[in-house]
């Protein structure tokens, strides 16, 4: 369902989401996604995406991004999206992908 789902990680306060999946150990995966600032966000929009080994252990990969200003406060404005990707090599039977926002 490419491009049909959106998650707001800011809301009234910073937030996050995570999902555990069962990769094949030793296989390399690329996680691609797009990010945009919410219409009413302040100037800071930092996003950290992490891939964690089984049980929330050591990070297999981490991406820190400052999502660029992409919309104005005009509701008629077009939302612009920035593309990101994270590459990880699985080390065991379970990994967790975690997105966390750090917004002012």
CATH number at residue 51: 2.60.120.260
CA distance 96 to 31: 12
Whether residue 8 is contained in a domain is answered as no
Host domain of residue 66: 16-103
Task: Decide: 51 and 96 in contact? Cβ < 8 Å.
Answer: yes
> pLDDT tens, 68-77?
765 555 555 6
Whether residue 74 is contained in a domain is answered as yes
Enter the pTM of the model. Answer: 0.75
Whether residue 39 is contained in a domain is answered as yes
Which contiguous run of DSSP H or E holds residue 98? strand 95-103
Whether residue 1 is contained in a domain is answered as no
Whether residue 81 is contained in a domain is answered as yes
Nearest to 6 by CA among 40, 48, 38: 38
Task: Decide: 98 and 47 in contact? Cβ < 8 Å.
Answer: no
Number of domains in the chain: 1
CA distance 90 to 67: 27
> pLDDT tens, 33-81?
888 776 666 665 788 889 988 766 678 999 998 877 655 555 556 666 7
């Amino acid at each position: 369902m490419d491009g049909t789902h959106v998650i707001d990680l800011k809301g009234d306060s910073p937030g996050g989401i995570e999902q555990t999946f069962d990769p094949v150990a030793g296989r390399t995966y690329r996680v691609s996604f797009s990010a945009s600032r919410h219409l009413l966000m302040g100037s800071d929009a930092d996003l950290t995406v992490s891939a964690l080994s089984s049980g929330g252990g050591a990070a297999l990969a981490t991406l820190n991004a400052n999502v660029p200003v992409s919309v104005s406060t005009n509701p008629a404005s077009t939302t612009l999206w920035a593309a990101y990707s994270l590459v990880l090599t699985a080390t065991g039977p379970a990994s967790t992908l975690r997105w966390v926002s750090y917004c002012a």
